[in-house]
Amino acid sequence: MSTRRFEARVGGVSAEPIELRFPRPSVMGILNVTPDSFSDGGVHFGDPDAAAGSARRMIEAGAAIVDLGGESTRPGADGVSLDEELRRVVPVLERLEGVPVSIDTAKAEVARRALALGAEMVNDVTALRGDPELAGAVADSGAYLCLMHMKGEPRSMQRNPVYDDVVGEVTAFLEERLGAAVAAGVPEERICLDPGIGFGKTVEHNMELLRRLGVVAELGRPLLVGVSRKSSLGRLLGDPAATRGTLAASLGAAVSAFDHGASILRVHDVREHVEALTIAAAVEG
């Protein structure tokens, strides 16, 4: 997991297939500029200089890319307006020239502005179901795209989610959304898939998805996994009311996700994850 290959990049979109641009394992650092994200909410809200500084430190610590989000998707969260989301992310993007950025948004206009300001990936937790114009915006720009599974919507998704076969349903969903993205003009080689840990899933659903990640990987696309600090980790450590997990639990989950086939790990604590995953990759050989 060398950081050297990123030093020569000056933002914008690489021509490489996603698995070459983000070899397994790659770390995606989380940068939320929201007042209410479940873990880092408020830390960078309203302070674009501080947010940009954090992003640069994440890259120095070995992140391949920073995922910038202006809308919380935590359970129970309300959406934000287009204007508000732009007010949050544009000043940060303007300060991130030369930094590899993914924009965590479901809105085409936010994606367009971010891509024009140098972002190279669009991370859409709605998997192109939120805004009918987003697929076209991604296709026109040549950006990378992450399609994530979510059952329901953030406001209600954790109210008793039920599946007959969580792995089968998530895999079928991602296959269908991959087909829709390709049909809309996004080349398959630019797309990664994400089982959406914590998005309309119980602790048991999340663990089964991680355990059987290989089934999702059979779709043939690199997998992005975001389990960092998620509440399932705290619950597994014995607190049924936990809203977040610890760093140690996050590292254990990330290494296990990598062992089960994940390529890109979306994390809050970049340096620690880079170190843990460097060792996990060395063991894998």
Residues that bind ligand HH2 (CB under 6 A): 30, 32, 34, 37-39, 69, 72-74, 104, 123, 125, 146, 148, 194, 196-197, 224, 226, 266
243-262 burial, b for 16+ CB within 10 Å, e for fewer?
ebbeeebbbbbbbbbbebbb
Q: Closest-CB residue for ligand HH2?
A: 226
Q: Which of 211, 230, 235, 271 is catalytic?
A: 230
Residue 246 Cβ vs ligand HH2, minimum distance, rounded to whole Å: 14
- SS3 state at 27: strand
Return the ∠ at Cα 159 (arms to 74 and 41), rounded to 5°.
Answer: 15
What's at 166, amino acid-wise?
A: V
Cβ-based nearer residue to ligand HH2, 50 or 98: 50
Asked if 174 contacts 166 with a C-beta cutoff of 8 angstroms, the reply is: no
- Would residue 64 be called left, alpha or beta, if left means φ above 0 and alpha means ψ between -120 and 50 degrees? alpha
Asked if 121 contacts 65 with a C-beta cutoff of 8 angstroms, the reply is: yes
Residue 282 Cβ vs ligand HH2, minimum distance, rounded to whole Å: 26
Cβ-based nearer residue to ligand HH2, 112 or 229: 229
Cβ-based nearer residue to ligand HH2, 243 or 283: 243
Cα–Cα distance for residue pair 90/229, rounded to 1 Å: 26
Cβ-based nearer residue to ligand HH2, 192 or 276: 192
Do the bridges between strand 224-225 and strand 65-69 make them parallel or antiparallel, or are there none, so unpaired?
unpaired
Residue 116 Cβ vs ligand HH2, minimum distance, rounded to whole Å: 22
Asked if 27 contacts 274 with a C-beta cutoff of 8 angstroms, the reply is: yes
Is 107 part of the annotated catalytic residue set? no
Cβ-based nearer residue to ligand HH2, 42 or 214: 42
Is 112 part of the annotated catalytic residue set? no
Spatial strand order of the sheet with 121-124 comes to 191-194, 144-148, 121-124, 101-104, 65-69, 26-32, 264-267, 224-225
Q: What are phi and psi of 122, to 5 degrees?
A: -115, 125
Residue 153 Cβ vs ligand HH2, minimum distance, rounded to whole Å: 12
Cβ-based nearer residue to ligand HH2, 98 or 161: 161
Q: Give catalytic residues, as residue numbers.
A: 230, 266
